[in-house]
Structure 1
Amino acid sequence: MRRHGWAGDIPADDEEAIARIVAAARRVIDEDGTVNVSRVAEDLGITRPTLYRYFPNLEALLRATAMSAVSAFLDNLAVHLQTYTAPTDAVVEGIAFTLEQLPHDRYLGMVMQPGKASAFTAGVTGEIAITFGRSILNRFNVDWRGSGFDDTTLTELVEFMLRTLQSLIIDPGRPPRHGTDLRTYLHDWIAPAVQAHCRAAVH
């Protein structure tokens, strides 16, 4: 695969090229608050067509950048959820913890909050959002298969969680729920839906 430009410093291979593009995208986001293909290409000293050889569209670039940027959050989430082994408790705490971290994590906010540079730009069923949601579920210390969830139903659960998060982000309530109130609300209304699926799977 040919590589043009790169300000005279040609990457050793495609893996290095991809890593440089993602790093440049993060720099552009830090400066501009959004992803712009032209700015990323300019930062690297390459043309837009060269960038598109590695990322065919803006969504693909955003997905790679977002997932690399939120890895620290996902690691923290895994530690926080270590003691949650029941699907209902894990889903409730996963939603609540993610929602509460939004104001404190710039990249998580970029991924989750609806806007120009967001996992929700293409909707909660878009590839970026689903990939991110599956990454969250993979951090849970839950035996999903043993609880009756296969790949299809796990993806549906991700969609359900993301739709809930999206709703709470767009309209957090009046007044917004936090802490115990938020978790009580989610346990009352979200947990029963998850539990009903677990019971149906057992029978």
Structure 2
Amino acid sequence: MRTHGWSGSAPATDDEAVARILAAAGSAIDERGADVGIADVARTLGVTRQTVYRYFPSTDALLVAAAVHAADDFLDRLADHLHGITDPVGAVTEAIATALEWLPKDKHIGLLVAPGKADEHTASVTSDVALRFANAMIRRFDVDWAAAGFVDDELDELAEHLLRIIQSFVIDPGRPPRTGADLRNYLRRWVGGALT
């Protein structure tokens, strides 16, 4: 643990250092989206870039960690929004539609599931981090997946499928883009059909 820098208040542990770095990165993402670098975070914290690199080997690693750090809030809000929807088709339809509505406003989760820069982030939609996020999302639904006939492996595939659908809408929302009831009807018809 470094004893200098940190704007005069060094963290007591590595865990505290990581928490401060993630908080600074989160604030920077709120302000500028994915256009954040290690130098920006280091400057905010009053440390060198090497100090941040000690905990995060690259800007991408830091951005993904900051997004994961913010994911619980997104998942809690989504679970609250879906509270009481026990039908698998209804829950999946509303989850996808709501995620698509919220993603443009949530710069953090967009880093996990939406390509902010086509070359850098497109492949990350099926990364382990994104898949864990999607799995956590569907397991927070009020759906009794076992009673509906789904086993764990199928839920893993469903999580991947939801990410792929969300990504396709983010990349190309359609002409004109579907929104509101139109989007939900489309998803219920075509995505819901895969669940029944």
Q: TM-score, normalised by structure 2?
A: 0.84
Q: Which letter does structure 1 place at the counterpart of 2:76? A: D
Moved more, 117-126 or 83-92: 117-126
Identify if the C-alpha distance between structure 1 residues 9 and 150 changes in structure 2 by more than 3 Å, giving closer, same or farther. farther
Q: Which letter does structure 1 place at the counterpart of 2:75? A: L
Structure 2, unpaired ranges of 5+? none
Identify if the C-alpha distance between structure 1 residues 17 and 10 changes in structure 2 by more than 3 Å, giving closer, same or farther. same
Q: Which letter does structure 2 place at the counterpart of 1:40? A: V
Structure 1, unpaired ranges of 5+? 196-203
1:119 and 1:126 in contact (8 A); partners too:
no
Give per-residue Cα distances to partners, 1:33-91, cap 9 Å, x unaligned: 32311221222222333323323443432222113334333222111111111222211
Moved more, 3-12 or 183-192: 3-12
Give per-residue Cα distances to partners, 1:141-182, cap 9 Å, x unaligned: 122344343443322211100110111111111221112211
Identify if the C-alpha distance between structure 1 residues 144 and 60 changes in structure 2 by more than 3 Å, giving closer, same or farther. farther
Deviation at 1:125, TM superposition (A): 0.7
Which residue matches 1:38? 39
**d(CA) in 1 for partners of 2:140, 2:119:** 21
Tell whether 2:191 aligns with 1:165.
no
Moved more, 11-20 or 66-75: 66-75
Deviation at 1:118, TM superposition (A): 11
**d(CA) in 1 for partners of 2:120, 2:163:** 10
Identify if the C-alpha distance between structure 1 residues 87 and 59 changes in structure 2 by more than 3 Å, giving closer, same or farther. farther
**d(CA) in 1 for partners of 2:76, 2:119:** 20
Question: For 1:107-118, what aligned pairs fall within 5 Å after superposition?
Answer: 107-116=108-117
Moved more, 9-18 or 55-64: 55-64
**d(CA) in 2 for partners of 1:119, 1:71:** 24
Which residue matches 2:132? 131
Which residue matches 1:198? none
1:111 and 1:118 in contact (8 A); partners too:
no
1:110 and 1:118 in contact (8 A); partners too:
no
Aligned length: 194
Moved more, 164-173 or 101-110: 101-110
Deviation at 1:121, TM superposition (A): 4.2
Q: Which letter does structure 2 place at the counterpart of 1:46? A: V
Deviation at 1:22, TM superposition (A): 0.5
Which residue matches 2:176? 175
Q: Which letter does structure 2 place at the counterpart of 1:6? A: W
1:22 and 1:61 in contact (8 A); partners too:
yes
Identify if the C-alpha distance between structure 1 residues 105 and 27 changes in structure 2 by more than 3 Å, giving closer, same or farther. closer
RMSD between aligned residues: 2.6
Identify if the C-alpha distance between structure 1 residues 55 and 147 changes in structure 2 by more than 3 Å, giving closer, same or farther. farther
